[in-house]
């Protein structure tokens, strides 16, 4: 790899079922890192770029109920390709902590385990896209499906993905558990506490 492309920063991703508190904890971590004098940025997937946010709108809009599983997977990959090239790689080269709410693991479990898209295909496309831009650490916030969806439902109306069946979301969670067992060095499990600050304390110890 060319030295000019070698990353100097750290790439941290947050994963978990719906309602696990990923976004909140990721933003709290970025705020903490900045308070310690570190350069840090928060991103979400899909999103993080103008193009990515437009794709996000397509994917989460309940009116788009006819999106097939393969199209859904490819749209997530397209948004990921854009944010990697436009934001993640440049920020890592500048020495930033890049903290991202979801990444390739989400596609493996949501479209792979959840919808049945070929896992080998997802891995192949994903590895081709991310190449050296792999997470240094993934924090998996593990909550039960019913609890997570209940939390999400109290905050706002469910989007196209969130309103899928309980059995779908259970397949997603089981998919995460399999990833944890496969990549124990990279993926660390945190059981969220009712007090978000106590959850954040656990995360800071990992960092």
* Residue 114: strand, helix, or coil: coil
pLDDT tens, position by position, 105-137? 999 999 999 999 999 999 999 999 999 899 999
Evaluate whether 113 touches 26 at the Cβ level (below 8 Å): no
Q: Which residue has the higher pLDDT, 157 or 118?
A: 118
DSSP string of 30-81? Answer: HHHHHHTT--EEEEESS-SSHHHHHHHHHHH-TT-TT--HHHHHHHHHHHHH
pLDDT tier at 34, thresholds 50, 70, 90: very high
Of 5, 13, 20, 2, give the one whose Cα is nearest residue 199: 20
CATH number for the domain running over 3-206:
3.40.50.300
> Whole-number mean pLDDT of the chain?
95
Evaluate whether 114 touches 175 at the Cβ level (below 8 Å): yes
Exposure string (b/e) for 24-34, b if CB count within 10 Å is 16 or more?
bbbebbbeebe
The stretch 158-176 carries a mean pLDDT of 96
> Is residue 149 scored above 90 in pLDDT?
no
Evaluate whether 87 touches 48 at the Cβ level (below 8 Å): yes
| Percent share of the chain, pLDDT over 90 | 88
Q: Is 186 buried (19+), middle (13-18) or exposed (0-12) by CB count in 10 A?
A: middle
Helix orientation angle between 166-182 and 145-155, rounded to the nearest 10 degrees: 120
> Is residue 1 scored above 50 in pLDDT?
no
Give the pLDDT of residue 129. 95
Q: How far apart are CA 82 and CA 129, in angstroms?
A: 10
């Amino acid at each position: 790899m060319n030295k000019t492309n070698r990353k100097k920063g750290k790439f941290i991703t947050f994963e978990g079922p719906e309602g696990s508190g990923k976004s909140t904890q990721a933003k709290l971590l970025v705020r903490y890192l900045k308070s310690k004098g570190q350069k840090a940025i928060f991103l979400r997937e899909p999103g993080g770029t103008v193009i990515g946010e437009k794709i996000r709108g397509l994917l989460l809009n309940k009116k788009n109920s006819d999106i097939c599983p393969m199209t859904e997977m490819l749209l997530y990959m397209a948004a990921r390709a854009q944010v990697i090239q436009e934001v993640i790689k440049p920020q890592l080269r500048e020495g930033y902590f890049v903290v991202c709410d979801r990444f390739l693991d989400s596609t493996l479990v949501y479209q792979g385990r959840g919808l049945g898209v070929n896992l080998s295909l997802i891995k192949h496309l994903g590895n081709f896209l991310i190449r050296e831009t792999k997470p240094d650490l993934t924090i998996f916030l593990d909550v039960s499906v019913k609890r997570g969806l209940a939390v999400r439902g109290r905050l706002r109306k469910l989007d196209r993905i969130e309103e899928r069946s309980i059995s779908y979301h259970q397949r997603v969670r089981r998919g995460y558990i399999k990833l944890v067992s496969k990549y124990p060095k990279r993926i660390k499990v945190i059981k969220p506490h009712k007090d978000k600050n106590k959850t954040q304390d656990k995360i800071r110890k990992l960092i």
